[in-house]
Amino acid sequence: MFSLLRKKYGKPKTYNTRIVQNRMNAKFQAFSALWKIKGCELFLGNSISEVDDGYLLITTEKWRKHEKEEQRKKEKQALDKL
């Protein structure tokens, strides 16, 4: 997936790697990459909660603003309960 996205969209804006380990103590290099394209963000991670568990997430600027506002509301509600 990474090579296809890189071919289509070029070098990602950010690219990070880390070493992960499975239950058999085998170590693997995991990565995450982020592309910003015309008001959208594409996030690709090849190892999230499991070594072989990855995902591609595509979001728009409008969605990210909505999520940020929802988070702000939840934080305010939590503070109001104190």
Query: Could you read off the pLDDT of 29-67 as tens digits, one per residue?
Result: 889 999 999 889 999 998 765 666 788 999 999 999 999
Classify residue 50 as left (phi > 0), alpha (psi -120 to 50) or beta: beta
Task: Please list, in sequence order, all residues whose beta carbon lies within 8 angstroms of the beta carbon of residue 21, skipping any fewer than 6 positions away.
Answer: 27, 28, 51
> What is the residue extent of each domain of the chain?
2-81
Choose between 3 and 49: higher pLDDT: 3
- C-alpha span between 72 and 59 (Å, rounded): 19
